[in-house]
C-alpha cells in the first residue's frame, strides 16, 4: 500500500480510529473501522521507528500472514510502521481461568483451549515456525468458543539461532533463555506452562530478567510441581503429570511435539484426570499381599499376574481392575500383583474417585459399582477361583 497517504495519527485514510485496545513494550494495538469494507479490525503500530525494530515488526506481520489457520489471527494489510488484522474480542486465557470458580468447569474449558492451541502450533511447526512466547496474555478466547494464539513477534524459523535472547521472564523455556536453537519442544514447554498456570495460578519460574536468567542459569533448575490454587481442591494428579513432563529441563524428556501433548490431554479427559497414570516394567511388583490397601488400579495397557500365598491364580489385562476392596474397606492386600509385561495403570483412590464422579466422568460410577460388588466377594470365592477346596 505504498500509494496510501498516512494521516497524522499514523492510520491510512480508509481507517477510522476507534480507541486503544492494548499497549505493549514494542507496539500498540488500536481498534479501527475499515470504511471501505465496513468492518471492525485492529491495527498494530510499532512503538519504535528504528530500522532494526521495524524490520522485526515487519517480519512478524509476514510470518503471521503465512500461517493460515483458524486459531491464528489473519493479517489484512501492512504499512511501514503498522499492520491491520482481524479484531479479536473476548478474554485472555488468564482471565478465563480466574473468572470460573468451579475447578472442574474451568479445567474442562482449559483442556478445550489447549487442544486448539496444539492444533495451531502443529500447523505452525509444519511451516517451520516456532512461537516462543506462549503465556496467558497471548491466548484469546472468544464468546463463542473461538481460540486465537496471538503475538508472533518473536517467532523463530525452526533450526535457526538468533543473536539475541527474547521471551517473557517466567514463561521462557530453558534453552530459549540460554540463547540456544529452539524447536517444537520449546513450544511444548510453553503449553506445559499454560497448563501449570491453570493448576496453581502462577508461572512455572519466579520472575527474573532475561539477563539474570542467561547469567545465572536459573532456568537450569527443574520446575517445582504445582501445589494448587488457594481456595480450590488440589490439582488433578494426571494433569500435574502432563504439565511436569512438558516442563522437563531436558527437551529430549518432554513431549516431542504438540500432537503428543494433545494425545495425553485427550486420554486424561476420557479416562479421568484425577486418576494418576503409572508405568511398571515387566517383573515389577505393583502390590504385595499383606501390604496396606489404599487404592485400586485400572489396567490401561499390558498384563499382570495375580498370586496368593505364593501361587498364581489369575492373569488380568487391559480394561480390568484389581484392588477394588481398598475403595470400600481398606485393610490389607489379599493378593500380589506382578507385571508380566510393561504395564500402564490408572491409580484409583477414594478421593480421586469422588472428584471424578463430581466431574461427571463415567469411570467413577463404574468403579464404584465394581467396588461394591467386590466387597461382597469373600476370600472363599477367591480360593474357589484358584481351584482350592
CATH number for the domain that contains residue 63: 3.30.200.20
**pTM value?**
0.81
Question: How do the pLDDT tens digits run along the chain, 389 residues long?
Answer: 444 444 435 678 889 988 888 887 788 899 999 999 999 999 999 888 888 888 889 999 999 999 999 999 999 999 888 999 999 989 999 999 999 888 888 999 999 999 999 999 999 999 999 999 999 999 999 988 899 999 998 998 765 656 567 788 788 898 888 888 899 999 999 999 999 999 988 888 765 556 655 555 555 557 888 877 777 778 999 999 999 999 999 999 999 999 999 999 998 888 788 888 899 999 999 999 999 888 899 999 999 999 999 899 999 999 898 988 777 666 789 899 999 999 999 998 888 877 777 766 565 566 556 555 555 543 444 455 555 55
On whether residue 7 sits in a domain, the answer given is: no
Q: Which residue's C-alpha cell is 469411570?
A: 363
Domain of residue 82 covers 15-86
One DSSP character per residue, 327-359 reads: GTT--B-SSEEEESS-EEEEEE-HHHHHHHHHH
Q: Contact at 8 Å (CB) between 255 and 267?
A: no
Catalytic residue (one of 133, 151, 183, 187): 133
On whether residue 331 sits in a domain, the answer given is: yes
On whether residue 2 sits in a domain, the answer given is: no
Count of domains forming the chain: 3
Residues 101 and 215 in one domain: yes
Residue 162 to residue 178: CA distance in whole angstroms: 11
Domain boundary among 217, 251, 271: 271
Domain boundary among 256, 271, 286: 271
* Cα torsion angle, 297, 298, 302, 303, sign: positive
Residues 6+ apart with CB under 8 A from 184: 121, 125, 130, 158, 256, 257, 258
**Is 133 a known active-site residue?**
yes
Residues 152 and 175 in one domain: yes
On whether residue 30 sits in a domain, the answer given is: yes
Residues 264 and 294 in one domain: no
On whether residue 188 sits in a domain, the answer given is: yes
Q: Contact at 8 Å (CB) between 183 and 110?
A: no
On whether residue 145 sits in a domain, the answer given is: yes
The CATH number of whichever domain residue 196 belongs to comes to 1.10.510.10
First to last CA, the chain: 91
Closest CA to 272 of 162, 198, 346, 173: 346
Residues 71 and 144 in one domain: no
Three cell numbers written together for 386: 484358584
Residues 73 and 105 in one domain: no
On whether residue 9 sits in a domain, the answer given is: no
Domain boundary among 245, 271, 297: 271
Amino acid at each position: 500500500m505504498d500509494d496510501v497517504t498516512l494521516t497524522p495519527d499514523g492510520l491510512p485514510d480508509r481507517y477510522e480510529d476507534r480507541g486503544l485496545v492494548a499497549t505493549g513494550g514494542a507496539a500498540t494495538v488500536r481498534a479501527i473501522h475499515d470504511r471501505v469494507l465496513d468492518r471492525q479490525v485492529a491495527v498494530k503500530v510499532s512503538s519504535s521507528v528504528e530500522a532494526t525494530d521495524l524490520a522485526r515488526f515487519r517480519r512478524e506481520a509476514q510470518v503471521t500472514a503465512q500461517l493460515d489457520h483458524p486459531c491464528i489471527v489473519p493479517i489484512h494489510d501492512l504499512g511501514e510502521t503498522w499492520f491491520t488484522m482481524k479484531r479479536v474480542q473476548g478474554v485472555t486465557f488468564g482471565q478465563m481461568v480466574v473468572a470460573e470458580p468451579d475447578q472442574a468447569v474451568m479445567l474442562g474449558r482449559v483442556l478445550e483451549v489447549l487442544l486448539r492451541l496444539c492444533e495451531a502450533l502443529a500447523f505452525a511447526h509444519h511451516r517451520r515456525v516456532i512461537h516462543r512466547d506462549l503465556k496467558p496474555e497471548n491466548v484469546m478466547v472468544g464468546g463463542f468458543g473461538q481460540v486465537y494464539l496471538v503475538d508472533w513477534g518473536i517467532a523463530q524459523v525452526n533450526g535457526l539461532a538468533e543473536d539475541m535472547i527474547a521471551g517473557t521472564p517466567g514463561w521462557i523455556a530453558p534453552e530459549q533463555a540460554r540463547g540456544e536453537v529452539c524447536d517444537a519442544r520449546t513450544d511444548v514447554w510453553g503449553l506445559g506452562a499454560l497448563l501449570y498456570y491453570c493448576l496453581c495460578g502462577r508461572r512455572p519460574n519466579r520472575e527474573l530478567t532475561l539477563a539474570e536468567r542467561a547469567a545465572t542459569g536459573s532456568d537450569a533448575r527443574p520446575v517445582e510441581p504445582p501445589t494448587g490454587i488457594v481456595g480450590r481442591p488440589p490439582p488433578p494428579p494426571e494433569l500435574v503429570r502432563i504439565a511436569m513432563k512438558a516442563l522437563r529441563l531436558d527437551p529430549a524428556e518432554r513431549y516431542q511435539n504438540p500432537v503428543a501433548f494433545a494425545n495425553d490431554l485427550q486420554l486424561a479427559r476420557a479416562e479421568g484426570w484425577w486418576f494418576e497414570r503409572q508405568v511398571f516394567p515387566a517383573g515389577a511388583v505393583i502390590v504385595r499381599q499383606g501390604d496396606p490397601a489404599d487404592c485400586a488400579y485400572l489396567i490401561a495397557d499390558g498384563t499382570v499376574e495375580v498370586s496368593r500365598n505364593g501361587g498364581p491364580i489369575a492373569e488380568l489385562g487391559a480394561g480390568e481392575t484389581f484392588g477394588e476392596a481398598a475403595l470400600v474397606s481398606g485393610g490389607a492386600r489379599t493378593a500380589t500383583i506382578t507385571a508380566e509385561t510393561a504395564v500402564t495403570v490408572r491409580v484409583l483412590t477414594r478421593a480421586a474417585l469422588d472428584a471424578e464422579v463430581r466431574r461427571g466422568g463415567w469411570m467413577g460410577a463404574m468403579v464404584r459399582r465394581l467396588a461394591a460388588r467386590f466387597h461382597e466377594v469373600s476370600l472363599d470365592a477367591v480360593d474357589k477361583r484358584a481351584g482350592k477346596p
